[in-house]
C-alpha cells in the first residue's frame, strides 16, 4: 500500500477512507510488537514515528473545518502545550462532542495524520468502535481484559501512542473503567510509562444541548463566534452524566475529572454546508457549479422546523449528494 502523503484532507468522502484504515482488532494485540520493538528498543521513551506537524494541522483546520471556532482553538492549544512539554504529568485526554456530521471524526483523523509519520496507518494509532470491537454486552469482562492488555502492551512498545474511541454513546458503561489508571497523573501504571499518550473520545452526547445554546445565541442576535467554552462545558458534562448509554455514565473517569478538555462541535448552518460542498468539489478536481451547490443545499434537511437553521446531518452526506447531482 502506498505511503500516505501529508497535505489537506477535505471533509467528505476522504474521511471514510481514512477511518477505514485504522480499524484494529483487540484480539490481535501482540501481532506487531516484536517487529516494532526492533525499531524502538526502549518503547517507553521512544517517539516512534511521532512527527507532529502543527503548521499543516492548523492549515487544514482553517481551510476545511467549517463553523468550529471553539474546536479549532481548543484542540490546537491543548495539543501544542502537551507535545511541547518534555515531561507531561498525565496523558492528554480529549472528549469531542456534538451533532452528527459536525467534524468530530474528521478532526480526529486529521490529528492522526499530522501527528504520526504514518498517519492513520501508523502502528501507534489505535481506533476502537463499539460496533466492531465491543458488540456484545455479555462479553464485557473479556473486553475489559483485552482492552487493558492492548493499551498496556502498546504503551510498553511506544509511549507516544494515540487511542481513538468512537461512538462513546453506544458503548456499554463500565468498559472504560479499565482505562482510568492510564488517564491519571501517576508516574507508572502496571510497570508502563504512559504519560505521553493521547486519548480521544468521540460522541454525539451533548449535541442537543450545544444546539440549543447556539440557537438561543442566534435568536438573541449574538455572533456564534462569541459563544465560549464556559457556556457549553457544564451542559455537555451533565448530558454525559445523564446518559445511561454513554461509556462514561457513572464513571470514575468523570468523577475524577480525568478529561482534560471537553471539545464542543457546533451545529452547521447553510453557509457551512456550502463550504463543505466547495471543498468536496475541489477535492474531486471540479470547478464550482452553482447548480450542483444549490441542489445539494436544497436536498439537505434543516431544523428547527420554524427557523430551518441547522443541517440535520451536518456535512456528513455532502460527498454522496454531490455524486448524485453531478
pLDDT at 97: 98
Q: Is a pLDDT exceeding 90 seen at residue 21?
A: no
What residues are paired with 164 via a beta bridge? 127, 200
Question: 215 exposed, middle or buried (CB, 10 Å; 0-12, 13-18, 19+)?
Answer: middle
Q: What average pLDDT does the chain have?
A: 87
Query: Binding site annotation covers 100?
Result: yes
pLDDT band at 15 (very low <50, low <70, confident <90, very high): very low
pLDDT at 264: 98
pLDDT at 33: 37
19 or 317: which carries more pLDDT confidence?
317
Is 228 in contact with 263 (CB distance < 8 Å)? no
Taking residues 274-280, report their average pLDDT: 96
Query: Binding site annotation covers 184?
Result: no
pLDDT at 190: 63
pLDDT band at 189 (very low <50, low <70, confident <90, very high): low
pLDDT at 326: 85
Query: Binding site annotation covers 129?
Result: no
What are the tens digits of pLDDT across the range 99-109?
Answer: 999 999 999 99
Task: Return the percentage of the chain with pLDDT > 90, whole number.
Answer: 77
pLDDT at 39: 43
Query: Binding site annotation covers 101?
Result: yes
Taking residues 188-196, report their average pLDDT: 72
Taking residues 95-120, report their average pLDDT: 96
Look at 187-196, 210-219, 288-297 and tell me which has the smallest mean pLDDT: 187-196
Query: Binding site annotation covers 206?
Result: no
Residue 240 phi, psi dihedral angles, 5° rounding: -65, -45
Cis upstream peptide for 304 (omega within 30°): yes
How far apart CA 51 and CA 213 sit, in angstroms, is 37
Q: Is a pLDDT exceeding 50 seen at residue 28?
A: no
pLDDT at 240: 96
Going along the chain from its start, the domains and CATH numbers come out as 54-265 (3.40.50.300), 270-323 (no CATH)
Query: Binding site annotation covers 103?
Result: yes
pLDDT at 170: 93
Query: Binding site annotation covers 11?
Result: no
Q: Is a pLDDT exceeding 70 seen at residue 43?
A: no
pLDDT band at 131 (very low <50, low <70, confident <90, very high): very high
Q: Is a pLDDT exceeding 70 seen at residue 92?
A: yes
According to the 3-state scheme, what is the secondary structure of 184-237?
CCCCCECCECCCCCEEEEEECCCHHHHHHHHHHHHHCCCCHHHCCHHHHHHHHH
Query: Binding site annotation covers 104?
Result: yes
Amino acid at each position: 500500500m502506498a505511503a500516505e502523503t501529508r497535505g489537506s484532507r477535505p471533509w467528505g468522502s476522504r474521511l471514510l477512507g481514512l477511518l477505514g484504515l485504522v480499524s484494529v482488532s483487540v484480539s490481535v494485540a501482540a501481532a506487531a510488537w516484536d517487529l516494532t520493538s526492533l525499531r524502538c528498543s526502549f518503547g517507553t521513551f521512544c517517539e516512534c514515528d511521532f512527527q507532529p506537524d502543527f503548521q499543516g494541522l492548523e492549515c487544514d483546520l482553517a481551510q476545511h473545518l467549517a463553523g468550529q471556532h471553539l474546536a479549532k482553538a481548543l484542540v490546537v492549544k491543548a495539543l501544542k502545550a502537551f507535545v511541547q512539554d518534555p515531561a507531561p504529568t498525565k496523558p492528554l485526554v480529549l472528549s469531542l462532542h456534538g451533532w452528527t456530521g459536525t467534524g468530530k471524526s474528521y478532526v480526529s483523523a486529521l490529528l492522526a495524520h499530522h501527528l504520526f509519520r504514518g498517519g492513520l496507518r501508523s502502528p501507534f494509532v489505535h481506533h476502537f468502535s463499539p460496533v466492531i470491537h465491543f458488540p456484545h454486552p455479555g462479553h464485557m469482562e473479556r473486553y475489559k481484559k483485552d482492552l487493558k492488555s492492548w493499551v498496556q502492551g502498546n504503551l510498553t512498545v511506544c509511549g507516544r501512542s494515540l487511542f481513538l474511541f468512537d461512538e462513546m454513546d453506544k458503548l456499554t458503561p463500565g468498559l472504560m473503567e479499565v482505562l482510568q489508571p492510564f488517564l491519571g497523573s501517576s508516574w507508572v501504571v502496571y510497570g508502563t510509562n504512559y504519560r505521553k499518550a493521547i486519548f480521544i473520545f468521540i460522541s454525539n452526547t451533548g449535541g442537543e444541548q450545544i444546539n440549543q445554546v447556539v440557537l438561543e445565541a442566534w435568536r438573541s442576535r449574538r455572533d456564534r463566534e462569541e459563544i465560549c467554552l464556559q457556556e457549553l462545558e457544564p451542559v455537555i458534562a451533565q448530558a454525559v452524566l445523564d446518559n445511561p448509554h454513554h461509556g462514561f455514565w457513572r464513571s470514575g473517569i468523570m468523577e475524577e475529572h480525568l478529561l482534560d478538555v471537553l471539545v464542543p462541535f457546533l451545529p452547521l448552518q447553510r453557509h457551512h454546508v456550502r463550504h463543505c460542498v466547495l471543498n468536496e468539489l475541489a477535492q474531486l478536481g471540479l470547478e464550482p457549479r452553482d447548480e450542483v451547490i444549490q441542489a445539494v443545499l436544497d436536498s439537505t434537511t434543516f431544523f428547527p422546523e420554524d427557523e430551518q437553521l441547522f443541517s440535520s446531518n451536518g456535512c456528513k452526506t455532502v460527498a454522496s449528494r454531490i455524486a448524485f447531482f453531478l
